Amino acid sequence: MTNTGYDAIVVGAGPNGLAAAITLQESGLSVLVVEGKDTIGGGMRTAELTLPGYRHDVCSAVHPMALMSPFFAGLPLVDFGLQFVQPPHDAAHPLDGGRVAVLDRSVESTAARLGADGAAYRKWMGNLTESIPGLLPDLLGPLKWPAKPFQLAGFGLQALPPASWTVGRFKTAEARALWAGMAAHSIQPLENIASSAFGIMLMAAAHIKGWVIPVGGSQRIADALGAYFRSLGGEIRTGWMVSSIDDLPPSKVVLMDVTPRQLIRIAGDKLSSSYKRRLGNYRYGPGIFKVDWALDEPIPFYREECRSAGTVHLGNTFEEIARYERNVGNGRRGEKPFVLLTQQSVFDPTRAPAGKHTAWAYCHVPHGDDRDMTDAIESQVERYAPGFSDIIKAKHITNASAFEEYNPNYVGGDINGGIQDILQLYSRPVLSISPYRTSAGNIYICSSSTPPGGGVHGMCGYHAARQALKDVFKLEVKKA
């Protein structure tokens, strides 16, 4: 730090805050990262939530976008201790009656398990996995004139319909259920326009790079990012919860890894009234309820495919999942939740004592709803893994309010920093040529409340930093 302060300060050390800081530091600036918690990471933290020796991912666990991210791809994170493991199957989806659908690295292998829908899946997803890699700079960035307009238009024709329309491609219960589980990651009713985009991207990510699990926990991603940033000369201060932007040291620019609500609270007196009014109209989505378990043994799923899948979707048919997600999206409590589950210790033995295991699962709930969903989630697991309750040693639950307390960005339990429906897919936090700019010339927003939204990919922070470098420092950064 010089007498004149820092070139840039980043508030928040989640994936996007760290991505912004690295991008700025790589450009030769002096950068300080300020983090409210005692450890960096945001949604990439790992902790002993149940019993000593059992390491649980607090939020993100499996990372479909980690290897797909153009930003991450350009970083030497392996040199800073980051390793990933690839489960035999990316995802499995059991149905009542003993059937199962499986998402594999190979389009062909996935299609081969879908019976009468195999040919349709093979053609549809085969074409998409060929086109998506070349479209990632446009898909994972702000709305702008695309580099490949015709190819992007073709993708849009597939991605913009509601998932409830796209399911019409399939006839078998297995293919329809597999699609439902993928599209439900959008955390919104499957009847919403553009909900298909989420399912398509997740399936394509599996076939292109795979859904990977970081060895040692998601904290290892944060630690590697932080170590690389420090190796460039960057500075990180933890345990400093910023309440006002005036409390920060002098700097030329501040990037905020926060959602609109926190931006108004921390820097509201620096923002114009019209901009604050627009931020006030920003919409947050459903929350989540999560359970972590310490287990005596792996979950006894009756299908081997589920036992060897990194992620298991529990919700039976498309219709059952769509009904539950519709209720949640409309603020109603539903029964038989759609459950997203992962059993990291099966593939990463560092997560638990020898011979023991961990598991992690959550379901969506109405925004801010703190109803205890433990029994409902465990009932769904038991439905496809009889005897599951007998192997539980300890459990830890996190409701929507607890998630917001853990991370103020998770307003009402919303882990995506705002609902990602068609109205906020690219116009987040406001409709703007550059959504990363605020009305204050030296303040930028770099959180998942900006394009491309939620997920561990760092692209929100990367794009915000590029905008700040261009505006404030007159520097251009080569596109990731």
pLDDT in tens, 391-428: 999 999 999 999 999 999 999 999 999 999 999 999 99
Q: What is the pLDDT of residue 312?
A: 98
Q: What is the pLDDT of residues 351-368, one digit of tens each?
A: 999 999 999 999 999 999
CATH number at residue 37: 3.50.50.60
What's the CA gap between 126 and 33, in Å, rounded? Answer: 42
pLDDT tens for residues 26-81? 999 999 999 999 999 999 999 999 999 999 999 999 999 999 999 999 999 999 99
Domain count, the chain: 1
The predicted pLDDT at position 141 comes to: 92
- Asked whether residue 308 is assigned to any structural domain, the reply reads no
Give 327's DSSP letter. H
The reply to whether 142 falls in a domain is: no
| Cβ neighbours for 447, distance < 8 A, ≥ 6 positions apart | 12, 14, 16, 17, 256, 257, 258, 259, 409, 417, 460, 461
Kindly state whether residue 168 falls inside one of the protein's structural domains. no
Is the model's pLDDT at 131 over the cut of 60?
yes
Question: What is the residue-averaged pLDDT of the chain?
Answer: 96
Residue 1 is predicted with a pLDDT of 42
Q: Report yes or no on 207 lying in a domain.
A: no
The string of pLDDT tens digits covering residues 311-328 is 999 999 999 999 999 999
426-472 residue pLDDT tens: 999 999 999 999 999 999 999 999 999 999 999 999 999 999 999 99
Residue 113: left (phi > 0), alpha (psi -120 to 50), or beta? alpha
CA-to-CA separations, 351 to 25, 38, 54, 388, in angstroms, rounded: 33, 21, 6, 19
The beta strands (E) that lie in 170-241 are given as 213-214, 235-237
pLDDT over threshold 90, residue 3:
no
User: Is 405 a domain residue?
Assistant: no
- The pLDDT value given to residue 344: 96
The residue-averaged pLDDT of 163-189 equals: 98
Q: In this structure, is residue 91 part of a structural domain?
A: no
Q: Is the pLDDT of residue 259 over 80?
A: yes
pLDDT value, residue 334: 84
Instruction: Return the closest-CA partner of residue 454 out of 138, 159, 198.
Output: 198
User: What are the two backbone dihedrals, phi and then psi, of residue 395, each rounded to the nearest 5 degrees?
Assistant: -145, 160
With respect to residue 188, please indicate whether it lies within any of the assigned structural domains: no
Q: How confident is the model at residue 4 (pLDDT cuts 50, 70, 90)?
A: low
- Report the alpha-carbon distance of residue 384 to residue 314 in Å, rounded: 8
Q: What is the mean pLDDT of residues 276-288?
A: 97
- Whether pTM > 0.75 for this model: the answer is yes
Percentage of the residues of the chain whose pLDDT score is greater than 70: 99
> What is the C-alpha separation between 19 and 25, in angstroms, rounded?
10
Tell whether 395 is covered by a domain. Answer: no
CA angle 294/415/11 to nearest 5° reads: 110
Average pLDDT of span 143-158: 92
The yes-or-no verdict on residue 143 having pLDDT over 90 is no
pLDDT at site 222: 98
> Residue 28 belongs to what domain range?
6-44+215-282+418-472
